[in-house]
């Protein structure tokens, strides 16, 4: 835990309203139209879910929302935290879910956001298990507006001793696809065990500066992932320079 930072569950109306405001600020929406209104958060808590909030002293610096799933699973609806605090928030979610007997947690994120991919796949050790095309349909917040809402589902084994999926960040195979910027988009190793796929350095900035180019990246990465997932690959890693590792699962043809 970062010095001076605490993470706790939130149940009271004022605390949930502050979390709703936090999400509005992160997704650049008016506080009068938050992505997750306080009354919705209150209902989720009442139904058995959990809202975790991270406080740096008295300042709200991160939050996450999770609900119970079926057959020993939980689902994280949303999470956002100041840099360096995301891990503490996810560990609090893990402790809550494991305390209820859950074995896994799932959530989705934008596969073009490389820093989130690295956090989810490398820092936490989750695995990308499902690619969802335009999952939410058109979005009008200040971060995703104008793009198609593809999402990658990750599955996180809540047992901290569970072995991690293998990955190789050295994208050394032959180039199989070219990216919208003219550089390599995808590589595949000769043993057909790994596929590597590159994403833009900063898709949020690119989307604001050149929405058409950002959308071309979206479609290009989508094609690589859909093809690889059909062939039995799963997302297992992300390099610091923006290359996913997709690893073929055992038994895939």
Q: What pTM, to 2 d.p., does this model score?
A: 0.92
pLDDT at 71: 84
Q: Which two tokens stand for residue 231?
A: 């062939």
Burial class (CB in 10 A: 0-12, 13-18, 19+), 225: buried
Cα(53)–Cα(197) distance, rounded to whole angstroms? 34
In contact, 243 and 152? CB cutoff 8 Å: no
pLDDT at 19: 98
Phi, psi of 64 (to 5 degrees): -150, 150
pLDDT at 52: 98
Which comes out higher in pLDDT, residue 83 or 76?
A: 76
Q: Confidence band (pLDDT; 50, 70, 90) for 160?
A: confident
- What distance, in Å, lies between the first and last C-alpha atoms of the chain? 43
């Amino acid at each position: 835990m970062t010095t001076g930072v605490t993470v706790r569950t939130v149940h009271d109306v004022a605390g949930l309203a502050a979390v709703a405001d936090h999400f509005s600020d992160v997704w650049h929406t008016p506080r009068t139209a938050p992505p997750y209104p306080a009354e919705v958060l209150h209902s989720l808590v009442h139904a058995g879910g959990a809202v975790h909030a991270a406080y740096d002293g008295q300042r709200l610096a991160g939050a996450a929302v999770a609900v119970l799933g079926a057959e020993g699973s939980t689902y994280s609806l949303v999470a956002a935290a100041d840099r360096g605090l995301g891990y503490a928030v996810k560990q609090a979610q893990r402790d809550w879910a494991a305390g209820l007997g859950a074995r896994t947690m799932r959530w989705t994120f934008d596969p073009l956001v490389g820093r989130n991919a690295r956090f989810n796949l490398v820092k936490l050790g989750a695995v990308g298990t499902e690619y969802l095309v335009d999952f939410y349909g058109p979005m009008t917040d200040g971060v995703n507006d104008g793009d198609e809402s593809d999402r990658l589902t990750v599955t996180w084994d809540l047992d901290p001793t569970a072995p991690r999926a293998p990955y190789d960040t050295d994208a050394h195979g032959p180039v199989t696809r070219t990216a919208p910027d003219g550089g390599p988009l995808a590589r595949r190793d000769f043993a057909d065990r790994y596929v590597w796929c590159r994403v833009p350095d900063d898709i949020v900035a690119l989307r604001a500066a050149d929405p058409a180019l950002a959308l071309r990246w979206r479609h290009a990465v989508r094609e690589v992932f859909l093809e690889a997932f059909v062939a039995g690959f799963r997302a297992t890693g992300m390099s610091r320079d923006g290359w996913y590792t997709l690893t073929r699962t055992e038994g895939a043809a």
